[in-house]
Amino acid sequence: MNFLATRLCVWVLTLALFPVPVNFLARSFQVEVLQCINSRALPPGADARVSLADRVVVYLVKAEAKEPDAWYRDDYRIARLTVGFARRGSRIPHVEASYRVLGLHPEKVWPSILRNRELILGALYEQVSGGKLPPKKPPTEVGWPLAAKALV
């Protein structure tokens, strides 16, 4: 939705309460009312080019800051570090980020969580988890009965 009239009213009221120098009025109007943030609206010395990776990192930082769940915050931090390591040319950025945040290889995170649950719950672990998982089925070849009949 476009709230141009609302933004204009708020901008005028703000200027009435907090006057700014005349030479900043045009820039203030661009940024606050029109929401046109381009190279002319940026402060002097700021780089107008923002890469996709920079925008992703900004999004992840904001998401991490407002996330109440500690585990999800760790996930956001791992994602942010993964982007950073990838930008620096790491061949395994997700592994480096996982080691940095959790101290474990990504493939060892879930087994570690299960092991910690078992240590904390002790004898109750069997009741809570429903026991050990059944053994995996051996791989078998899947046949296509309709295709086999068509070849005969």
Token pair 């672990």: residue: 125
- Reported residue count of the chain is 152
The DSSP-derived string for 48-64 is ----HHHHHHHHHHHHH
Q: Calculate ∠ Cα 120-126-131, nearest 5°.
A: 130
pLDDT of amino acid 107: 93
17-28 pLDDT, tens digit per residue, is: 777 677 666 666
37-73 pLDDT, tens digit per residue, is: 554 545 566 555 667 788 888 889 889 999 999 989 9
At residue 147, does pLDDT exceed 60?
A: no
Q: Average pLDDT, stretch 112-123?
A: 87
Q: Band the pLDDT of 91: cuts 50, 70, 90.
A: very high
Q: Between the CA of residue 68 and those of 58, 63, 65, 71, 138, what are the distances in Å?
A: 18, 10, 8, 9, 42
Q: Calculate ∠ Cα 50-55-61, nearest 5°.
A: 135
Helix (H) or strand (E) holding 98: helix 93-102
pLDDT of amino acid 19: 72
The DSSP-derived string for 113-128 is HHHHHHHHHTTHHHHH
Q: Residue 25: what residue type? A: L
